[in-house]
Amino acid sequence: MADFLPVCREDIKARGWGQCDFVYVTGDAYVDHPSFGTAIISRLLEARGYRVGIIAQPDWRDAESIRALGRPRLGFLVSAGNMDSMVNHYSVSKKRRRQDSYTPGGVMGKRPDYATIVYGNLIRSAYKDVPVIIGGIEASLRRFAHYDYWSDRLKRSILLDSQADLLSYGMGEHSIVEIAEALDAGIDVKMITFVDGTVYRTRSLENVYDYELLPDYEEMKGDKRQYARSFGIQYRNTDPFVGRRLAEPYSGRGYVEYVVQNPPAKPLSQEEMDEVYGLPYKRNYHPSYEEAGGVPALQEIRFSLISSRGCFGACSFCALTFHQGRIIQARSQESLEAEARLLTKDPDFKGYIHDVGGPTANFRFPACEKQEKKGACPDRQCLFPQPCRNMKADHGDYIALLRRLRALPGVKKVFIRSGIRFDYLLADKSRAFLRELCEHHVSGQLKVAPEHVSDTVLRRMGKPKNEVYQRFVREYTQMNERLGKDQYLVPYLMSSHPGSTLKEAVELAEYLRDLGYMPEQVQDFYPTPSTISTCMYYTGLDPRTMEPVYVPTNPHEKAMQRALIQYRDPKNYGLVLEALRLAGRADLVGYGKKCLVRPPGKAEGKTAGRGKDPRENPKKKKEPEKKKKTIRSIHQKKGKR
């Protein structure tokens, strides 16, 4: 197996190199594993004969840190890391996180805010004329003007603010190889305007053909409706087969400059996916991090397998449509088996493969045959509002893959933890996968993401109606009963999504009351760059239809909506009481079985009782606490009625 790529001048000399062709600057620690974008891009370039060095988490306050490997022959590659640096640093309440899982020892503060911009400008201060190509998820999702939640304003394309020459968006394998070949052939970086999956800047559209002009940045800053219109155009042009070239003007400095996005790069074939994941990764963090305790993020994925990319689920709050696209790209069973065999040889492997999946575990192939040659429909979704009649729902290949992995010597169990689409599972006429899932691949509880129970909110989320989830609950419960399994469902729920008023938040609380369940964790909607939901949050408009959307933006209202989901927590009593009064639901304050909280006074901070007020009979002995009901036990009872 190959060694780690050079991280210092001594490593370069040890390889007998005079200089690197590319220096990759990343906001993450250096982890040579195919779950890290830095590893994939650098190993792919290495396989094409290029010499790549890594500068991980440079000191952004010191330009000398960028000179650590010297001047590269062809250019710098820059990425903030596996996460947007602002999401990495801040919670939805904009409080600084305490840990960075992508840093040795989990230490926070090793990368700057808006890392791609800072690194790009740091390189420019050290090397004025070396090509700079930015990529990764931060650059990909900020490639056009975008709403930035943390500064609460519309920001320019990251290409302009980073002073980079090119931006590679999406997963980047096709585009980075083509860029490297062009630079190696002596083509000036400013002339590389022809690569799919890239964004470049220009002062003139004279030589740009077949493009659609987006609203001007200055115009969008003054009119949120124009931004919503622009985002709608971008969303309809994310497909590599039908997506058009887009140009966004910037006219605020006395001249007009354009940010031009070429159509997305074509999806990787199965053979290309196999090649990418079969490169000679060390599958570990750089040994220099051992003293600090390693890199925590590796432990989450060390014994997991990535089987696919892309997602045709197209949830409104997810940026996958803009980054990986809607067309599924999958690895062969042979490739996944080969990687699984590598896992079994790891001395720390205990026999458990933690996950086999991707953005959606049970998506293994494009939604329909048309997508492979003509792309995804620009104005229709595959699963929403109901499954398309052309969609092929078939879990046969995934079942065969899971069985193949389970049969490997040294493998005790294979889990599925990356999440499944229950509506896609139900669209499959066979229940073979549901049986396989319950019998072999659930670790006691299955995490699913209904997100909400209000159809009003679910429509804005691009999620199926609540009745679809309830149907899945019944079938999951019945299957476990047939198998004699005691396994639970853990639903992920989201508060304060656009479209959710206090009325819908109360509806969700009532559902949880009837279920007898209070989630330990609740995700408050997080407006991350380049999602439909974030566009709705900023503009109050659905960019697909331009319809007005109610958006809870006030922090206090958001706190109330979140508190309603965890209404049993005494700390939330005041917020829940206020929310119920504002929603006109005083009927839920009292001592009845349907009430959420007791009236204020001596019982303040407590959830509602069952039956009469216990204060009416203070001498009555306290009954022993009943065993906490599990999600499945509640669903089981509801299913038997």
Residues β-bridged to residue 493: 451
DSSP letter, residue 290: G
Domain 444-641 class in CATH:
alpha beta
Query: Does residue 622 have a pLDDT over 60?
Result: no
Contact indicator for 634, 515 with CB cutoff of 8 Å: yes
Query: Does residue 295 have a pLDDT over 50?
Result: yes
Residues 6+ apart with CB under 8 A from 220: 145, 154, 226, 227, 230
Domain 9-201+256-261 class in CATH:
alpha beta
- Which percentage of the chain shows pLDDT scores above 70? 94
Phi-psi region of 305 (alpha: psi -120 to 50; beta: other; left: phi over 0): beta
Residue 496 Cα distances to 47, 317, 565, angstroms: 46, 12, 11
Query: Does residue 554 have a pLDDT over 50?
Result: yes
Residue 385: cis peptide before it, omega within 30 degrees of 0: yes
Residues of the chain with CATH 3.30.750.210: 303-442
Concatenate the DSSP letters of all residues of 229-260 into one string.
HHHHHHHTT--TTTPPEEEEEE-TTSS-EEEE
- Residue 614's pLDDT is 34
Confidence label for 633 from pLDDT (cuts 50, 70 and 90)? very low
Confidence label for 606 from pLDDT (cuts 50, 70 and 90)? low
Q: Which tens digits make up the pLDDT trace of 196-247? A: 999 999 999 999 999 999 999 999 999 999 999 999 999 999 999 999 999 9
Find where tokens 């992920």 sit: 492
- Residue 60's pLDDT is 95
Confidence label for 603 from pLDDT (cuts 50, 70 and 90)? low
Contact indicator for 425, 387 with CB cutoff of 8 Å: no
CATH topology of domain 303-442: Transcription Regulator spoIIAA (3.30.750)
Q: How large is the C-alpha radius of gyration of the chain? A: 26
Look at 372 and 454; give whichever has higher pLDDT: 454
| C-alpha span between 161 and 168 (Å, rounded) | 15
Look at 110 and 618; give whichever has higher pLDDT: 110
Contact indicator for 589, 580 with CB cutoff of 8 Å: yes
Residue 164 Cα distances to 157, 167, 543, angstroms: 11, 7, 29
Concatenate the DSSP letters of all residues of 604-631 into one string.
TT-B--SSS-GGG-TTSPPPPPPPPPPH
Polymer length in residues for the chain = 641
76 SS3 class: strand
Residues 6+ apart with CB under 8 A from 49: none
Q: Are strands 198-202 and 257-261 parallel, antiparallel or unpaired?
A: antiparallel
DSSP letter, residue 97: P
- Residue 226's pLDDT is 98
- Which percentage of the chain shows pLDDT scores above 90? 88
Residue 348 Cα distances to 2, 203, 408, 570, angstroms: 20, 55, 17, 42
Encoded tokens for 106: 């989990």
**Distance of alpha carbon 71 from its chain centroid, rounded?**
34
Phi, psi of 326, deg, nearest 5: -95, -10
Phi, psi of 56, deg, nearest 5: -100, 130
* Residues 436-455, mean pLDDT to the nearest whole number: 94
423 SS3 class: helix
Phi-psi region of 20 (alpha: psi -120 to 50; beta: other; left: phi over 0): beta
Q: Are strands 352-353 and 245-250 parallel, antiparallel or unpaired?
A: unpaired
- Residue 180's pLDDT is 98
- Residue 373's pLDDT is 87
Residues 6+ apart with CB under 8 A from 613: 591
| C-alpha span between 240 and 250 (Å, rounded) | 25
Q: Say how many C-beta atoms besides its own lie within 10 A of residue 9's C-beta.
A: 15
Find where tokens 């987006």 sit: 214
- Residue 545's pLDDT is 94
Residue 301 Cα distances to 35, 398, 441, 523, 614, angstroms: 7, 20, 17, 22, 50
Residues of the chain with CATH 3.40.50.280: 9-201+256-261
Contact indicator for 24, 38 with CB cutoff of 8 Å: yes
CA angle 68, 116, 358 (to 5 degrees): 105
Q: Say how many C-beta atoms besides its own lie within 10 A of residue 582's C-beta.
A: 14
| C-alpha span between 394 and 430 (Å, rounded) | 8
| C-alpha span between 417 and 346 (Å, rounded) | 21
Phi, psi of 374, deg, nearest 5: -120, -5
Buried b (16+ CB within 10 A) or exposed e, 349-367: beeebbbbbbbbbbbbbbb
| C-alpha span between 340 and 192 (Å, rounded) | 39
Confidence label for 152 from pLDDT (cuts 50, 70 and 90)? very high
* Residues 308-326, mean pLDDT to the nearest whole number: 93
| C-alpha span between 243 and 249 (Å, rounded) | 19
Residues of the chain with CATH 3.30.750.200: 444-641
| C-alpha span between 487 and 583 (Å, rounded) | 36
- Residue 519's pLDDT is 86
